[in-house]
Amino acid sequence: MPLTDLTHSELLAFRPQVEEPADFDAFWERTIAEARAAGGVPELTPADSPVTQLRIDDLVFPGFGGEPVRAWVSRPLHGDGPLPAVAQYQGYGGGRGLPGENVAWALAGYVHVFVDTRGQGSGWGSGGDTPDPHGSGPATPGVMTRGIHSPETYYYRRVFTDAVRAIDAARSLPFVDADRIAVTGGSQGGGIALAAGALAGGVTAVMPDVAFLCAFRRGAEVAAGGPFIELATYLSVHRDEVADVFSTLSYFDGVNFARRIHAPSLFSVALMDTIVPPSTTFAAYNHLAAADRAIEVYPFNDHEGGGGAHWRTQAAWLAPRFR
């Protein structure tokens, strides 16, 4: 399998110009403030699971517009609390799955908040449980072009707001140390983690893997497969909307969020990734504001990236930063 993008040395220097709207910060401050003002309180209910050596709860919390979003909260049965937490966001098309499916962080001694993605959860895995009760104008199949005619209506405005509200909900839980919360996720989840790390405030660490939703134009131009192709397909039909589409996407680009992340950050990237071109992830990493930062490079992997081996790297890297 060949390299799918630039060489490693070229990637280290890759800093594309990504449009940054003059009202970027004001847009997101207003969006998050409106969601918080919509009210609602997080609710925990014990999950129906055969797992007996962890406590697993079904969390319902208010997201964008106060709309209910779900997550699994897994934690050690007898940990001395409050405990540090890891909020994890899911990849494209997946949902939170079944309780007990994803518990590695809980087994490592953390509170694990595994957040569902609204309107997804039927592409792979074991499903999702959060609807997206919003319509859309013309769009390609998938979610990449839903509401793309304006940043106000774009799908990821709701998803990124949900991600921030998930951290708000985690901070309200009595067994969570509100000052020690990290965010992580792979692919789409990595892009969501970047947004949450920039917007939530006070996040301890940011750990995006093979991060999608960065350098949108570059991705649409060079990706060999996956959801970046949805953008290219849409623009091949709506030929007169190129400038407007990328103007909307500039409010959601991981590059612009990375510029605002000062928390310690550990990225990962795969150089044979056919879904997320490594140059798009490096575009965000190379614009990162954090002084404490690192990127793990997997030269011979596709979109699976570092897999379980990288999780071990994350766990070793995160522990001293929580201390």
pLDDT number for residue 4: 83
Domain count along the chain: 1
In tens, the pLDDT along 254-311 reads: 999 999 999 999 999 999 999 999 999 999 999 999 999 999 999 999 999 999 999 9
Query: Which listed residue (112, 149, 287, 303) is catalytic?
Result: 303
Does 223 map to a domain?
A: yes
**Amino acid of residue 141:** P
- For 200-211, how does the pLDDT look when each residue is reduced to its tens digit (9 = 90+)? 999 999 999 999
Does residue 219 fall inside a structural domain? yes
Closest CA to 132 of 119, 144, 121: 119
Q: Region 63-84: what's the mean pLDDT? A: 94
Q: Which residue range is the domain that position 102 belongs to? A: 8-317
**296 is a domain residue:** yes
Pick the catalytic residue from 49, 187, 265, 268.
187
Rounded to whole angstroms, what are the CA distances from 229 to 75, 140, 276, 277?
Answer: 38, 10, 10, 12
Domain-located, residue 2 = no
Integer Cα distance of 220 and 230 in angstroms:
8
Report whether pLDDT(80) > 80.
no
Residue 118: what pLDDT?
A: 98
Catalytically annotated residue among 58, 116, 132, 273:
273
What pLDDT band is residue 1 in, cutting at 50, 70 and 90?
low
Q: Per the structure block, which two tokens stand in for 211? A: 């991060």
What whole-number distance in Å separates Cα of residue 122 and Cα of residue 109?
30
- Tens digits of residue pLDDT in 11-51: 999 999 899 999 999 999 999 999 999 999 999 999 999 99
CATH of the domain at 48: 3.40.50.1820
**Average pLDDT value for the chain:** 97
49 classed as catalytic? no
Would the pLDDT of 124 be above 90?
no
Q: Is residue 117 part of a domain?
A: yes
Flag whether 3 is in a domain: no
Q: Is 136 a catalytic residue?
A: no
In a 3-state reduction of DSSP, which class is residue 238?
coil
How do the residues of the chain divide into helix, strand and coil, expressed in percent and rounded to 5?
Answer: 35, 20, 45
- Which position has the token pair 């990375």? 258
Q: What is the pLDDT of residue 65?
A: 97
Catalytic, 187? Answer: yes
